[in-house]
Amino acid sequence: FDCMRGRLMANKGLVKVGGIREYVDQLANAKRIIIIACGTSLHAGMVAKYLFEEVCRVTVEVEYASEFRYRNPVIRDGDVVIAISQSGETADTLVAIEKAKEMGAIILGICNVVGSSIPRTSHAGAYTHAGAEIGVASTKAFTAQLTVLYLIALQIAKEKGTMENERFRRILNELDSIPKKVQKILDNSYIAQSLASLYLDAKSMIYLGRGYNFPIALEGALKMKEISYIHAEGYPAAEMKHGPIALIDDEMPVMFIATKDATYEKIVSNIQEVKARKGKVIAIVTEGDDAVKNLADHVIEIPEVDEILTPLLSVIPLQLFAYYTGVLRGCNVDQPRNLAKSVTV
Ligand code: F1P
């Protein structure tokens, strides 16, 4: 958290100069945290909901900024709004911030582009410093947003004493090990590449995950749509039986995020349900998981990590799978049709 101190957002005199550190008390005492964002940034916010609720014991609502702005939301004393945006210019998020601000909310921004509009209009915040995103579809900014959200969650948990000391220390250590583990996944990119060559003609794909990996299923599907123009939908794995299961046949690739966590057994039974309907299963699994290997058509292994940190790793094979699928289909993966880096209208 200290390392963020040097990277605080100067507020250009609109409200206060300062960083999230100066709002730790408000965050720790918040009755409710409302996260507003769009697209990939919204998915980072959804991971934060699971995280803040588990380790900080605070109520969290995640809102599409593009809807929040048109609703009549209730903001109460003690609510803190966190706005997440790679570009810092997304019009829907900016308008939603103005609305929340008018209603008296404290706004904390998490943005990548230094000096962009959202940092300037927020009370405080943190830059993700992910470097310039070359592609329009957000990828490394997502990982950086998650990292900032983990640091905030740990700081609140420390203030509130809501996390057991030993786990707190373990998570901090594991955060240090993330870059090496990410590198290992990148070194195995050829697996995502060969899977892409098998499924590049798919008409549609389903992505399923539970818990911390549910937002990752949404993000994997979004990347596939954005970069390769293949229709893909993400669902909570348990929702499959409430509708999407009707789509499954021997031509439907189903991507499971099936890492070893609290929901593992349930995910395994979801995989069995898909296999029983002849769906093609690709699974992101924890290294050494032979049970899912024996069930699925293909697996991509990722290193073991505490379940709350899994999204930092599990998203990467999905980004690579979408990327290679797009490349093999001849799409312009950096500049997909109809998409803009900053959606300013
Ligand atoms: C939000 C977003 C991106 C997406 C695309 C369009 O942008 O939906 O997640 O990849 O570029 O905009 P931002 O508010 O995070 O800049």
Residues 91-150: tens digit of each pLDDT: 999 999 999 999 999 999 999 999 999 999 999 999 998 988 778 889 999 999 999 999
Domains of the chain in start order, with CATH, are: 2-163 (3.40.50.10490), 180-328 (3.40.50.10490)
CB atoms within 10 A of CB 190: 10
Residue 159 Cα to ligand 1 midpoint, Å, equals 32
CA distance linking residue 335 with residue 41, whole number of Å: 18
208 three-class SS: strand
In the prediction, which pLDDT does 11 show?
A: 31
Question: What is this structure's pTM?
Answer: 0.93
- pLDDT of 121: 94
The pLDDT of 61-81, averaged and rounded, is 93
Helix, strand, coil shares of the chain, percent, nearest 5, are 50, 15, 30
Q: Which of 63, 66, 94, 138 to mutate to test the pocket of ligand 1 (most atoms within 8 A of CB)?
A: 138
Q: Is the CB of 38 under 6 A from ligand 1?
A: yes
Is residue 9 very low, low, confident or very high in pLDDT (cuts 50, 70, 90)? very low
Q: How far is the CA of 339 from the centre of ligand 1 (A)?
A: 9
**Residue 93: per-residue pLDDT:** 97
Provide the pLDDT confidence category of residue 12 given band limits of 50, 70 and 90: very low
The conformation of residue 261, written as its DSSP 8-state character, comes to: S
Judge if the beta carbon of residue 93 lies within 6 A of ligand 1. yes
**Which of 9-18, 92-101, 327-336 has the lowest average pLDDT?**
9-18
Q: How far is the CA of 138 from the centre of ligand 1 (A)?
A: 6
The pLDDT tens digits for 219-230 are 999 999 999 999
Q: What's the mean pLDDT when you consider all of the chain?
A: 91
Active site residue 341: yes
Q: Is the CB of 122 under 6 A from ligand 1?
A: no
Q: Which of 49, 99, 101, 341 is catalytic?
A: 341
66 lines ligand 1 (CB under 6 A): no
Q: Minimal CA–CA distance to 207: which of 284, 122, 140?
A: 284
- Cβ(118) – ligand 1 distance below 6 Å: no
